Amino acid sequence: MTSLELAKYIDHTLLAPEATGRDVAKLCLEANEMKVAAVCISPSLLPLPNGLLSGDIALVCVTGFPSGAHAGATKSYEAATAVKNGATEIDMVVNLGFVYDSMWLELGDEISAVRRGIGNSVKLKAIIESAALTDEQIVMTCRVAVANGVDFVKTSTGFHKSGGATVHAVRLMRATVGNSIGVKASGGIRTRESALEMIKAGASRLGTSATRTILVG
């Protein structure tokens, strides 16, 4: 795989809580240069100045980040506001308490509320924190997410103490959702080798802040 081909898998990410507008401008300039699939930022950093990001690069915004413990209505409002401010994709952190208590209806209702809030034209990813879940919980969470309208399931925020993406989780998520739903591997992907391993396991998108290292490595 060439670096240009690999770049099309990457969401070039900046989610540090201290990130500034200058940092976002730098992120977008790097994204334009490297021709990545998307940039991923926090909602308070929107909207972007006109012309800062190339039109063929998606603008991803997180919601319910990083804990996922926000009220569903709050997540829906935050996501809808982000879309009004230019986001074309939403990465939503699911409520892990619902997962741990097997509250699948409540989990589905929350995801569905975010889907309704952003409309069907915006891509929705569910961040499930796979490293914090058993295989059975990963499978059920992915199934509920797909049933309630997500376009992608995503491994991790990169902020959870349990860790980030693993090849095993990506492979399991891909097997669960099939080929019509995207799988985004995120959290701890810092080398070209690990990026290619995630793609081989079934990832269709990679979230990373180490984009340049990956592409030149």
Instruction: Return the pLDDT at 4.
Output: 96
To 10 degrees, what angle do helices 167-177 and 192-201 make? 30
| 105 Cβ contact list (under 8 Å, min separation 6) | none
Instruction: Return the pLDDT at 81.
Output: 98
Q: Active site includes 11? A: no
Task: Report which residue type is found at 15.
Answer: L
Structural domains in the chain, sorted by start: 3-216 (3.20.20.70)
| Regions of the chain where pLDDT drops below 70 | none
Q: Active site includes 109? A: no
CA–CA gap between residue 13 and residue 195 (Å, rounded): 14
Out of 11, 75, 91, 151, which one is annotated catalytic? 91
CA–CA gap between residue 118 and residue 107 (Å, rounded): 17
Reported as a single tens digit per residue, the pLDDT across 109-138 is 999 999 999 999 999 999 999 999 999 999
Please list, residue by residue across 81-114, b when 16 or more beta carbons sit within 10 angstroms of its beta carbon and e when fewer do: bbbeeebbbbbbbbbbebbeeeeeebbbebbbbb
CA–CA gap between residue 12 and residue 26 (Å, rounded): 11
CA–CA gap between residue 103 and residue 99 (Å, rounded): 6
Tokens 């741990």 — which residue?
100
Q: Active site includes 184? A: yes
Out of 75, 123, 125, 154, which one is annotated catalytic? 154
Instruction: Return the pLDDT at 217.
Output: 75
Instruction: Return the pLDDT at 87.
Output: 98
Is 148 in a helix, a strand, or coil?
coil
| Of 34, 33, 30, 28, residue with least CA distance to 59 | 28
